[in-house]
Amino acid sequence: MKLQYLLEMDKPQTHFYGVTMNIDDFSEDNMLLTMPAWAPGSYEIYDFARFVRNIRAYSGSVQLDVQKRDKSTWKVNTKDIHSVKITYEIYANELSVHTSHVDSTHAFLNGTSVFLYVEGYKDQSLELVIKPFGNWKVSTGLEKLSDNKYRAVTYDILADCPIEIGEHRSLFFTVDGKEHEIVLYGRGNEDEEKLSSDVRRIVEQYAKIFGHLPYKRYVFIYHLVSEEDQSGGLEHLNSTTIDIDRFTFSPFDKYKHFLSVTSHEFFHLWNVKRIRPVELGPFNYKEENYTTLLWIAEGFTNFYGYHVLLRAGLIDQKEYFRYLAENMRYHDFLPGSRNTSASESSFDAWIKLYRPTPNNINSYISYYLKGELLGFVLDSMIIDATHGAKSLDDMYRSLMDKYNKDGKGYTEKDIIATLKDVTGKDFSEFFSKYVREPGIIEFQDYLKPLGYSLRKGYRKVDGVEPSSKAYLGLIVRTNGGRFVVDSVVEGSPAYEAGINPKDEILAVDNFRFTDVFLKEMKEEVKRLKMDNLAAFHPGQNVTVTFFRRGLIYTVPVKLSGAPYEYYEIAESEQVPAGAETLRGKFLTG
């Protein structure tokens, strides 16, 4: 079978793409056409078929009958017909890393939301011809045959190469003789020279870890958007798309987020795209692809995302340990960390991470957070077990040697076996204790061999650190000057008093509830805050007044002691023998 796609955007202001599939040498009585339901790397069902309209099939000038079989599949009667033309339109007006977008300023495609595939022929090679609007240019990781003509050896490759079309800026740099393109759509407070230099340093650091770069050319697609817009990143085989606040490039407290997202998505080149859980490929695009190993696939990628910034000299040790300690604090604060294991969190991603309920904070822990901290734990354990000779890098290099060559995915047993090959030690207990079962992580046990200790406490008031602070247990969302409960921490005073999500808090002890009673829940969680009752004390009896479904209520609440406000990693007063060697390995890989 021969297959060519034609992509058109004659009227970009209408948000429609026109797609034509020219199929020759087809030999079956029926052709099934399917639109994917999700975008690999984002574990959520999107049902992209909802964007399709006016699907038609032709044999020459004769229109063929097209019947819809289910929500994402169409059947075409092709008996005695060998050449078929399929035409359809795609509505694309959602700018995110997992969907597609076209308007008068640009066009962006994530393949699974635009291109139908022929059932049974996903391994078929194909060509893509793009007709850009006006004088727009094309940037993509697809293999280029000629101007605006590209080739993919399979549908998976087509779907895995995002495409930016427009008048965007392109910056270029070279590492190990390979070209890297930085695509910038939109404008903000970026410094192009610094941005390009820092991204290059990230690429160079990963090249040192693995000894090579596994592609011919790489494309970073950055959409600079408003803070209110969706942000995030999505990994691909030789590219990534990252949507980020246009004013994220300064001050450094914001810029480091840009760097960590870039580092995270780039590490996915190895972790997921080339070495992956066995369930994540070949992809089933029609339904959920469940795995218990996202804590490695995504969580360990988070660990490297920030750790490599330290190794590349883009952040210092103080900043790295501040970040690591804050994640430890947040993990310990969340009741969900004691109710959901890393394995369960991974498996339930499809229904919990991307479709949260107000009770998520109590019942669920993100595999990103849990996995990132387990990445630290495992790195420390490997370094300690090998007396500083090996690290988590060596596990990944071994996995790359084993699983990239034949394209097969790994299982949990394969990870345990690889760790034994690397260290000579059995890590089964780590999986039993921290992966398959929920519960606390004794972080101090894994800081100690490196010569560090963990201190916990409260922010100072008038230069003095209090021994405790008062606490209701509310997670609040500010909405137009109103303070609406988003979640209530299980076991907290507010939880026991019966305060509910969606209640609008009006007053505490007859004092009007304002921002004075709130503090950040976590640095990067912008829209949610925790209660901060610095004017009260633990054990004090207060009243809380709130609206619920338009009626006013007042309930008595006995305040308790708040969870610790900060964790701090510092050098131990008594550094164990050999800790300097282990610490050096941890900091430099």
Give the DSSP per-residue string, 46-94: --GGGGEEEEEEEETTEEEPEEEEETTEEEEE-TT---EEEEEEEE-B-
Total-model pTM: 0.96
Return the pLDDT at 525.
80
pLDDT band at 70 (very low <50, low <70, confident <90, very high): very high
> Measuring CA to CA, how many Å separate 370 from each of 325, 343, 393?
13, 10, 19
> Measuring CA to CA, how many Å separate 276 from each of 144, 172, 271, 294, 408?
27, 29, 6, 9, 8
> Measuring CA to CA, how many Å separate 502 from each of 290, 347, 477, 497, 563?
32, 28, 9, 15, 23
For 327-356, the pLDDT digits (tens) are 999 999 999 999 999 999 999 999 999 999
Contact 327, 369 (CB under 8 A): yes
Q: How many CB atoms lie within 10 A of CB 122?
A: 16
In sequence order, which ranges of 98-251 are alpha helices (DSSP H)?
Answer: 155-159, 192-210
Return the pLDDT at 281.
85
pLDDT > 90? residue 507: yes
> Measuring CA to CA, how many Å separate 196 from each of 219, 224, 245, 250?
12, 15, 17, 15
> Measuring CA to CA, how many Å separate 189 from each of 106, 116, 256, 516?
20, 38, 14, 31
List the one residue out of 229, 233, 222, 111 whose CA is nearest residue 168: 222
pLDDT > 90? residue 542: yes
pLDDT band at 229 (very low <50, low <70, confident <90, very high): confident
For 406-457, the pLDDT digits (tens) are 778 999 999 999 999 999 999 999 999 999 999 999 999 999 999 999 999 9
Return the pLDDT at 527.
84
Q: In what order do the strands lie in the sheet with 16-24?
A: 62-64, 52-59, 84-91, 16-24, 2-8, 126-131, 149-152, 143-146
Percent of the chain scored above 70 by pLDDT?
Answer: 100
Q: What is the mean pLDDT of residues 358-376?
A: 97
Q: Please give the structure tokens belonging to residue 224.
A: 């600079």
pLDDT band at 526 (very low <50, low <70, confident <90, very high): confident
Contact 178, 185 (CB under 8 A): no
Q: What is the mean pLDDT of residues 386-412?
A: 93
User: Measured in Å, how far apart are the chain's first and last C-alpha atoms?
Assistant: 49
Return the pLDDT at 168.
98
Q: Can you list the domains of the chain with their CATH numbers?
A: 2-166 (2.60.40.3650), 168-251 (3.30.2010), 270-458+572-589 (1.10.390.10), 470-563 (2.30.42.10)
For 483-503, the pLDDT digits (tens) are 999 999 999 999 999 999 999
Q: Looking at per-residue confidence, does 575 or 117 come out higher?
A: 117
Q: What is the mean pLDDT of residues 216-236?
A: 94
| ∠ CA 77-78-82, rounded to 5° | 165
Q: Please give the structure tokens belonging to residue 417.
A: 């076996």
Q: Please give the structure tokens belonging to residue 305.
A: 């995302």
pLDDT band at 141 (very low <50, low <70, confident <90, very high): very high
Q: How many CB atoms lie within 10 A of CB 28?
A: 15
Please give the Cα distance from 456 to 321 (Å, whole number): 14
Q: What is the mean pLDDT of residues 148-177?
A: 98
Return the pLDDT at 1.
95
Please give the Cα distance from 547 to 437 (Å, whole number): 39
Partners of residue 467 on adjacent β-strands: none
Average of per-residue pLDDT values in the chain? 96
